Chain A
Amino acid sequence: MARYDRAITVFSPDGHLFQVEYALEAVRKGNAAVGVRGTDNVVLGVEKKSAAKLQDSRSARKIVSLDNHVALACAGLKADARVLINRARIECQSHRLTVEDPVTVEYITRYIAGLQQKYTQSGGVRPFGLSTLIVGFDPYSGVPSLYQTDPSGTFSAWKANATGRNSNSMREFLEKNYKETSGQETVKLAICALLEVVESGGKTIEVAVMTKEHGLRQLEEAEIDAIVAEIEAEKVAAEAAKKAPAAPKET
């Protein structure tokens, strides 16, 4: 098969890889995605664009599992995501075959990031236009992890992170409000962050929780609606509490 000998991703005079930066732009236009790590679980939340009436929403799942104990959500070009996810799934099984052990979250993140980097340094190809949030539990330590990769191929671990549209606002919110949580609290925190930038409701948000015992569990629309209602109620109560002390001053 003929090999391409001309690279598309080349340096600019001031040291930038414009293709990679343009890819990051594509990510910024993609749907919002957030990940929050709790003490005993990890939560992923993704903005769902309002589904067309005739579309079967289950076929357009945005949070996918790579193995029983690892899941991924991404922001950016969805077609690129499919290719990357397939390669990652193969690598998970290949690792199980060659070392008789499941992958660690760090290993598969390193693999995905390595793949993304390869495409910034090969002939005839362009970088993947997506950033991923990878969550899971380490098979050895049982500790929950959250990692993020981007089109340049860098990756790092996070307590909570966001990517895609309005990710800066979400990250600011998380930086202000993050604290060690577990169970339902972590889910609430993730949904709160998403609600900063997304219209509320189970119709526009997809949420999944990864636990050590049960693996990945996608939340039902009704569940998400219930939690959103809880959050709204708490907000209203907080507002009321703020207003109440002011009232006596008026009389």
Chain B
Amino acid sequence: MKLDTSGLESAAPVWGAPSELVDGFSAAPSFEVPNTTDFDGFQKEAIQMVKPAKGTTTLAFIFKEGVMVAADSRASMGGYISSQSVKKIIEINPYMLGTMAGGAADCQFWHRNLGIKCRLHELANKRRISVTGASKLLANILYSYRGMGLSVGTMIAGWDETGPGLYYVDSEGGRLKGMRFSVGSGSPYAYGVLDNGYRYDMSVEEAAELARRAIYHATFRDGASGGVASVYYVGPNGWKKLSGDDVGELHYKYYPVMPSTVEQEMVEVAGA
């Protein structure tokens, strides 16, 4: 299977038939390997450098009415919150969404690239690409860059001819089909709420509320998640943004401040 090297090819056309003896598999150009004494160690270091960056909470699940996708909006660099307003749900095309976890640049670029590929597929084949196909295209690209330091933990959610589709794709080259996923440092907390409250036959409002609460609870406990909880719904007519609530406000909505009975009051002491 030919690796996707379209990003590396120069504009000049290839002269001559590429080694016709080798039945269709021409040699793939690749990056030059850096000059180190310990390449494996270098690779490990590179991976460790980007690992903590998956400070985020994203989730998506399939239910009766379609797919619900939600994410927080905090970007952190170690202990420093670099932004509270990052768009972590990327609109690939009007009927497909991708979530961002890991390297922001990597996710944004490759999702846009995926959008281009999906559109080209539509034009060439006169039909929309399936969620299966789109996720596979992305997974194959990421696999061909395996070990080169990309950090992408994404979910591709969409609606195609076969109904709602949800795939988890990561920069290790893994690709999983599933009904519920949560990705990021806040995912254990989100899973707790999501798995507990999930039912297949929920209405759109119930599902949105579940997604919102799951993100909120993750931001409550996970320092690397916060900001705004965005909720998107993907239905037969494409995706629609349902809400974007500040998690601080959500906190007081779920746990409003109750006036409590006073136990002791401070009284002015008369001058001695």
Contact = CB atoms under 8 A, between A and B. Distances in A.
A175 B24 CA distance: 39
A94 B2 contact: yes
B260 interface: no
A124 interface: yes
Interface in B104-131: 124-125, 127, 129-130
Interface in A90-109: 90-91, 94, 97-101, 104, 106-107
B137 A3 contact: no
B16 interface: yes
Given A86-B23, A91-B24, A100 B133 contact: yes
Contacts of A3: 15-16
A118 B15 CA distance: 10
Interface in B2-39: 2, 15-17, 19-20, 23-24
Interface in A3-50: 3-5
A229 to B, nearest CB: 44
Contacts, number: 53
A123 B16 CA distance: 5
Chain A, interface size category, equals: 20 to 34
A90 B2 CA distance: 11
Interface in A107-133: 107, 110, 118-119, 122-125
A140 B127 contact: yes
Contact of B133 (A101, A107, A118): A101
Given A4-B16, A122-B15, 8 more contacts: A83-B20, A98-B133, A98-B140, A99-B130, A99-B137, A118-B17, A119-B17, A122-B16
Chain B, interface size category, equals: 20 to 34
B132 interface: yes
A87 interface: yes
B15 A99 contact: no
Contact of B125 (A94, A107, A122): A107
B136 interface: yes
Q: Which 3 A-B pairs have the closest CB atoms?
A: A99-B133, A3-B16, A123-B16
Interface string B205-238: 0000000000000000000000000000000000
B1 interface: yes
Nearest to A103: B125
A247 B2 CA distance: 73
A1 interface: yes
A124 B16 CA distance: 6
Given A3-B15, A122-B16, A123-B15, A98 B24 contact: no
